[in-house]
Structure 1
Amino acid sequence: MIKIAIAEDKHVIAETLKEKIELNVDFGVKLMASNGKELLEQIKDALFVDVIFMDINMPIMDGMAATEFIAKNHPQIKIIMCTVFDDEENIFRAIQAGASGYILKDESPARIHRYIYETLDGGAPMNPLIARKALKMIRATPAASQKKVDYGLSERELQLLEQLSKGITYEQIADNLFISYGTVRTHFQNIYKKMQVHNKLEAVNKAKDENLI
């Protein structure tokens, strides 16, 4: 039998979810907790729980904090966020905390059963509405917002790389920036060393790949 835990502070909702889950004989709800702290106390050995249905908004310790702790200390346990919150911020926070899936509380028993199987198979189940919002959130995140590698380049060095990426020669860069050709060469020697590259092409490609320019 697949062993399930439920963390939900509203008793009626928890009992309804338990009934839905146990309509499938493969599943058994082995523990129920009304907050994250209580849940952590009950799964200290973590040997008898396969999947947790986790509410977000709970007293004492909320679902996000509990999820982060379990994902770090008991990574074999899969967590499905089960909530009424379908906004992008909570979806993003849940994924960051380590949740395997994110569904809404009004799911049908058949979907809940499918989500459990999918989670145990290594999937990331989401309610269709949540999946669309997650996809929209990913698409709306510009590449430039991704974390940049810090090579310790100065503003001037980044400016020189930007010029170089446009196919401009050292001589033209010197004229554009009102500095000497020798100064440009020295700057690029430092840039290549910091970025651990050997020529202009490598420097420009690396800078573009890592969103430096």
Structure 2
Amino acid sequence: MEDTAVEDTASDSRPVRVLIADDEAMIRAGVRAILARDPHVEVVAEAVDGHEAVALARRYRPDVVLLDIQMPGLDGLAAAARLHKESAPVGVIMLTTFGQDDYVTRALEGGADGFLLKADDPRELLNGVRAVGAGGAYLSPRVAARVIAGLRAHRAAHPHRSLERLTERERDVLAGLGTGLSNAEIASRLHLVEGTVKAHVSAVLAKLGARNRVEAAISAYEAGLVPPGRR
């Protein structure tokens, strides 16, 4: 992966703690080198397979786990599902060479918060780690385009999935999801407590039939709830 400079836009809060899981040492080294360009991101551990990734996540409690899909023993998709069920779940980003629709669908259904391709611009890796580390979700632009196309096809066959079922406050929360905000950031913007926002997010997901924040964010994008320049 190529090197890239990073703007210092993070706050004075503690760094985003990251665990890298990939069976190829060169890939792990490249990912670590890219993340090292941001002083507000810290790699706390590396794993060579899914079993080790789950064990190290329990030990180090990272904010974000970067998972390759094809690893020996326990693959990244299975590891993501296990991490999603942990008592103290972490943000999970799939970082892989393979962007097949089946992989994307299985990853999101398994609880992944992001999906990036190794061929993406290194800045996408940093953007994804920051977003998921803050409690949001992130998709590679190429992956997002395919997910949107799939959702449009699904909604054409299931027209009952509509934003009309949302209250005004739920639409406000959905707009926040569409811009990648965490629950805390949405609460600050709407002058609500974080627990109330969490309840609204759950209601939005249920009413839209969305499986996760990623699909809800795409709904906000399609509905025009995301201002130009913030998508």
TM (norm. structure 2) is 0.59
1:101 and 2:114 are equivalent in the alignment: yes
Instruction: Using the TM superposition, give the Cα deviation of residue 38 of structure 1 relative to its aligned residue in structure 2, in angstroms.
Output: 1.1
Q: 1:145-164, CA deviations, whole angstroms, 9 ceiling, x for partnerless residues?
A: x9xxxxxxxxxxxxxxxxxx
Task: Indicate which of 48, 65, 79 corresponds to 1:66.
Answer: 79
Aligned length: 145
Distance in 1, Cα, partners of 2:137 & 2:18:
17
1:124 and 2:140 are equivalent in the alignment: no
Instruction: Using the TM superposition, give the Cα deviation of residue 74 of structure 1 relative to its aligned residue in structure 2, in angstroms.
Output: 4.4
1:12 match: secondary structure:
helix
2:137 match: secondary structure:
coil
Give the aligned partner of residue 38 of structure 1. Answer: 52
Distance 1:74 1:7, change over 3 A: farther
1:6 and 2:20 are equivalent in the alignment: yes
Q: Kindly indicate whether the alpha-carbon contact (under 8 Å) linking 1:82 and 1:105 is maintained by their aligned counterparts in 2.
A: yes
Instruction: Using the TM superposition, give the Cα deviation of residue 110 of structure 1 relative to its aligned residue in structure 2, in angstroms.
Output: 2.5
Q: 1:112-170, CA deviations, whole angstroms, 9 ceiling, x for partnerless residues?
A: 222112113332211111000011111222218x9xxxxxxxxxxxxxxxxxxxxxxxx
Distance 1:103 1:94, change over 3 A: same
Instruction: Using the TM superposition, give the Cα deviation of residue 43 of structure 1 relative to its aligned residue in structure 2, in angstroms.
Output: 2.4
1:55 and 2:68 are equivalent in the alignment: yes
Asked which structure has the greater CA Rg, the reply is 1
Name the amino acid aligned to 1:107: D
Instruction: Using the TM superposition, give the Cα deviation of residue 103 of structure 1 relative to its aligned residue in structure 2, in angstroms.
Output: 0.6
Map 1:1-213; keep pairs closer than 5 Å. Answer: 1-45=15-59, 47=61, 49-141=62-154, 142-143=157-158
Q: Could you list the runs of 5+ residues in structure 2 that have no partner in the other structure?
A: 1-14, 162-231
Name the amino acid aligned to 1:24: D
Name the amino acid aligned to 1:143: H
Distance in 1, Cα, partners of 2:87 & 2:19:
14
Q: Kindly indicate whether the alpha-carbon contact (under 8 Å) linking 1:46 and 1:74 is maintained by their aligned counterparts in 2.
A: no
Distance in 1, Cα, partners of 2:97 & 2:112:
16
Q: Could you list the runs of 5+ residues in structure 1 that have no partner in the other structure?
A: 147-213
1:66 match: secondary structure:
helix
1:59 match: secondary structure:
coil
Q: Kindly indicate whether the alpha-carbon contact (under 8 Å) linking 2:91 and 2:112 is maintained by their aligned counterparts in 1.
A: yes
Q: Kindly indicate whether the alpha-carbon contact (under 8 Å) linking 2:116 and 2:124 is maintained by their aligned counterparts in 1.
A: no
1:110 match: secondary structure:
helix
Distance in 2, Cα, partners of 1:65 & 1:98:
10
1:102 match: secondary structure:
strand
Instruction: Using the TM superposition, give the Cα deviation of residue 75 of structure 1 relative to its aligned residue in structure 2, in angstroms.
Output: 4.8
Q: 1:72-121, CA deviations, whole angstroms, 9 ceiling, x for partnerless residues?
A: 11453100100111111111000000000001013333222221121133
Distance in 1, Cα, partners of 2:87 & 2:16:
17
Distance in 2, Cα, partners of 1:115 & 1:43:
18
